[in-house]
Amino acid sequence: MVEVTLWGSVGSAAGGNKQVEVEAKNIRELFAKLAAEYPGLEPLIDNGIAVAIDGVIYRDTWSKELPEDAEIVLLPRLAGG
Amino acid sequence: MHYERPGSIKDATRLLNGAKGSAYVLAGGSDLLVRMKGGFIEPDLVVDIKAIKGIGTIRKSSNGFTIGAAVPCAEMAESAALKKAWPGVVEAANLIGSKQIQGRCTIVGNLCNASPAADSVPALMAAEAKVAIAGPKGSRTIAVDKVVKAPGSTSLRKGEIVEAVLLDKRPLRSGDAYLRFIPRTEMDIAVVGAAVNLTLDKEGVVKSARVSLGAVAPTAILVRRAANAIIGTKLDGPALERLAEACSAACKPIDDKRGTIEFRKKVAGVLAGRAAKIAYKRAGGK
Amino acid sequence: MNFDAKFAAKKFNSVGTRPVRPDGVDKVTGRARYGADFNMPGQLAGAVLRSPHAHAKIKKIDVSKAEKLKGVKAVITADDLPDLTDGDSGLYNILDNCMARGRALYDGHAVAAVAAIDARTAREALKRIKVTYQVLPHVTDVDEAVAPGAPLVHEDVFTSGIDPRPKKPSNVAKRSEYGHGDVEKGFKQADFIVERRYRTEQTHQGYIEPHACVASFNADGTADMWVCTQGHFVFRQTCADLLGIDVSKLRVTSSEIGGGFGGKTHVWIEPVALALSRKAGRPVKLVMPREDVFRASGPTSATSIDVRICARKDGTITAAQADLRYSCGPYRDMWAELGAMTSFACYDLANVKSVGHEVLVNRPKTAAYRAPSAPMAAFAVESAIDELAHEIGMDPVEFRIKNAAKEGTKSSYGPVYGPIGIGPTLDAARDHPHMAAALGKNQGRGMACGFWFNFGGQTCTDLNIGLDGTVTLAVGTVDVGGARASLSLVAAEELGISYDEVKAVVADTSTLGYNDMTDGSRGTFSSSMATISAARNAIGVMKERAAAMWDIPVEDVVWEDGHAKATGAGHGNLPPLSLKEIAAAAPKTGGPIAGHSELVADGAGVSFATHICDVEVDPDTGATKVLRYTVIQDAGKAVHPDYVEGQYQGGAAQGIGWALNEEYIYGKDGRLQNPGFLDYRIPVCSDLPMIDTQILEIPNPNHPYGVRGVGETSIVPPLAAIANAVSNAVGVRLAHIPMSPPRILAALDTKKKD
Amino acid sequence: MTAIAVSTTINGDDIEVLCQTEETLLDVLRDRLGLTGAKEGCGTGDCGACSVIVDGRLVCACLVLGAEAEGRRIETIEGMAKGDELHPLQSSFLEHAALQCGVCTPGFLIAAKDLLERNPDPSEEEIRFALAGNLCRCTGYDKIVRAVQDAATVMKGG
Inter-chain contact C411–A47, Cβ cutoff 8 Å?
no
| B270 in contact with C, Cβ within 8 Å | yes
Q: Tell me: the pLDDT tens digits for C260-293?
A: 999 999 999 999 999 999 999 999 999 999 999 9
The percentage of chain C sitting over the pLDDT mark of 90, rounded to a whole number, equals 94
Which helix (DSSP H) or strand (DSSP E) does residue C100 occupy?
A: none
| C658 in contact with A, Cβ within 8 Å | no
- What's residue D1's pLDDT? 52
**Three-class DSSP category at D136:** coil
Inter-chain contact D46–B187, Cβ cutoff 8 Å?
yes
| Touch test C–A: 3 Cβ pairs or more under 8 Å | yes
pLDDT over threshold 80, residue C363? yes
| B252 in contact with D, Cβ within 8 Å | no
The chains found to touch B (3+ Cβ pairs under 8 angstroms) are C, D
Q: What are phi and psi of B273, to 5 degrees?
A: -60, -45
The mean pLDDT value for C427-444 works out to 98
Question: Closest Cα partner for B118 from B146, B92, B83, B98?
Answer: B92
Q: What angle do CA C592, C598, C602 make, to 5 degrees?
A: 150
Inter-chain contact C685–D140, Cβ cutoff 8 Å?
no
| D6 in contact with C, Cβ within 8 Å | no
The chains found to touch D (3+ Cβ pairs under 8 angstroms) are B, C
Q: How far is CA C58 from CA C106, C130, C155, C472, in A?
A: 12, 11, 16, 52
Q: How far apart are CA A33 and CA C420, in angstroms?
A: 32
Residue C324, Cβ density class (10 Å: 0-12 exposed, 13-18 middle, ≥19 buried): buried
Interface predicted TM-score (ipTM): 0.97
Q: Tell me: the pLDDT tens digits for D47-106?
A: 999 999 999 999 999 999 999 999 999 999 999 999 999 999 999 999 999 999 999 999
Q: How is residue D32 annotated by DSSP? A: I
- What's residue A11's pLDDT? 84
Dihedral, C554, C555, C557, C560 alpha carbons, nearest 10 = 130
Residues in chain C within 8 Å Cβ distance of B248: none
Chain-centre distance of CA D100, in angstroms? 18
| Residue pair B15/B4 in contact by the 8 Å Cβ criterion | yes
- What's residue B263's pLDDT? 97
| D19 in contact with C, Cβ within 8 Å | no
Nearest to D104 among C36, C208, C260 (CB): C208
C518: closest chain A residue by CA: A81
Q: Tell me: the pLDDT tens digits for C487-519?
A: 999 999 999 999 999 999 999 999 999 999 999
Q: Tell me: the pLDDT tens digits for C608-628?
A: 999 999 999 999 999 999 999
Q: Tell me: the pLDDT tens digits for B2-25?
A: 999 999 999 999 999 999 999 999
| D149 in contact with C, Cβ within 8 Å | no
Inter-chain contact C256–D109, Cβ cutoff 8 Å?
no
| Residue pair B133/B139 in contact by the 8 Å Cβ criterion | yes
| Residue pair B171/B267 in contact by the 8 Å Cβ criterion | no
Inter-chain contact A73–C415, Cβ cutoff 8 Å?
yes
Q: Tell me: the pLDDT tens digits for B261-284?
A: 999 999 999 999 999 999 999 999
C418: closest chain A residue by CA: A55
pLDDT over threshold 90, residue C642? yes
| A61 in contact with C, Cβ within 8 Å | yes
pLDDT-derived band at C1, boundaries 50, 70, 90? very low
Inter-chain contact A80–C341, Cβ cutoff 8 Å?
no
Residue B208, Cβ density class (10 Å: 0-12 exposed, 13-18 middle, ≥19 buried): middle
Q: How large is the C-alpha radius of gyration of chain D?
A: 16
Q: How far apart are CA C128 and CA C458, in angstroms?
A: 46
3-state helix, strand, coil in chain D (%, to 5): 40, 20, 40
Instruction: Compare D65 and A12 and report the one with higher pLDDT.
Output: D65
pLDDT-derived band at B148, boundaries 50, 70, 90? very high
Residue C496, Cβ density class (10 Å: 0-12 exposed, 13-18 middle, ≥19 buried): middle
Residues in chain C within 8 Å Cβ distance of D38: 30
The mean pLDDT value for C404-431 works out to 94
pLDDT over threshold 80, residue D9? yes
B100: closest chain D residue by CA: D59
Q: How far apart are CA C534 and CA B140, in angstroms?
A: 79
What ranges make up the beta strands (E) of chain B? 2-4, 23-26, 45-48, 58-61, 64-68, 130-135, 138-143, 148-150, 153-154, 161-168, 174-181, 192-200, 206-214, 221-222
pTM, to two decimals: 0.97
Residues shown for chain B: 286
Inter-chain contact D43–C686, Cβ cutoff 8 Å?
no
Q: How far is CA C130 from CA C64, C97, C272, C640, in A?
A: 9, 20, 19, 54
- In D, what residues contact B, Cβ < 8 A? 1-2, 4, 21-22, 24, 43-46, 48, 51, 54, 57-60, 62-65, 67-68, 70, 111, 114-115, 129-130, 132-134
The mean pLDDT value for C393-418 works out to 95
Q: How far apart are CA C694 and CA C662, in angstroms?
A: 27
Q: How is residue C128 annotated by DSSP? A: T
| B100 in contact with D, Cβ within 8 Å | yes
Nearest to D20 among C120, C209, C649 (CB): C120
| Residue pair B63/B129 in contact by the 8 Å Cβ criterion | no
The chains found to touch A (3+ Cβ pairs under 8 angstroms) are C
Give me the DSSP letters along C211-234. PEEEEEE-TTS-EEEEE--S-HHH
Question: Closest Cα partner for C590 from C537, C543, C545, C555?
Answer: C545
Which helix (DSSP H) or strand (DSSP E) does residue D143 occupy?
A: helix D142-155
**Picking from C88-102, C308-322, C593-607, C721-735, which range would have the lowest pLDDT averaged per residue?**
C593-607
Q: Tell me: the pLDDT tens digits for C230-250?
A: 999 999 999 999 999 999 999
The mean pLDDT value for A19-39 works out to 91
Dihedral, C375, C381, C385, C391 alpha carbons, nearest 10 = 130
Q: How far apart are CA C653 and CA D136, in angstroms?
A: 10
| Residue pair B116/B188 in contact by the 8 Å Cβ criterion | no
pLDDT-derived band at D158, boundaries 50, 70, 90? low
**C740 residue type, one letter:** S
**C81 residue type, one letter:** L
| B36 in contact with C, Cβ within 8 Å | no
- What's residue A7's pLDDT? 83
Nearest to C334 among A56, A79, A81 (CB): A79
Residues in chain C within 8 Å Cβ distance of D132: 684-686
pLDDT over threshold 90, residue C365? yes
Contacting C residues, span 529-558, partner chain A, CB-CB under 8 Å: none
C693: closest chain D residue by CA: D142
Which helix (DSSP H) or strand (DSSP E) does residue B248 occupy?
A: helix B237-250
Q: How far apart are CA C242 and CA C471, in angstroms?
A: 38
Residues in chain D within 8 Å Cβ distance of B185: 129, 132
| Residue pair C15/C642 in contact by the 8 Å Cβ criterion | no
Q: How large is the C-alpha radius of gyration of chain A?
A: 11
Q: What are phi and psi of C589, to 5 degrees?
A: -115, 10
Q: How many CA atoms lie within 13 A of C404 on its CB side?
A: 25
Q: Tell me: the pLDDT tens digits for A41-74?
A: 888 888 788 888 888 888 888 888 998 888 899 9
Nearest to C29 among D77, D125, D141 (CB): D77
Question: Closest Cα partner for C547 from C524, C532, C575, C566?
Answer: C566
Alpha-carbon gap: B27 to the closest alpha carbon of chain D (Å) = 10
The mean pLDDT value for C707-736 works out to 97
pLDDT-derived band at B250, boundaries 50, 70, 90? very high
Contacting C residues, span 683-702, partner chain D, CB-CB under 8 Å: 683-686, 688, 690-691
Residues in chain B within 8 Å Cβ distance of D118: none
Q: Tell me: the pLDDT tens digits for C568-592?
A: 877 878 999 999 999 999 999 999 9
Give me the DSSP letters along B88-154. HHHHHHTTSS-HHHHTT--HHHHHHTT-TT-SHHHHHHHTT-EEEEEETTEEEEEEGGGTEEETTEE
| D139 in contact with C, Cβ within 8 Å | yes
| C231 in contact with D, Cβ within 8 Å | no
The percentage of chain C sitting over the pLDDT mark of 70, rounded to a whole number, equals 100
| Touch test D–A: 3 Cβ pairs or more under 8 Å | no
Mean pLDDT of chain D: 97
C747: closest chain B residue by CA: B263
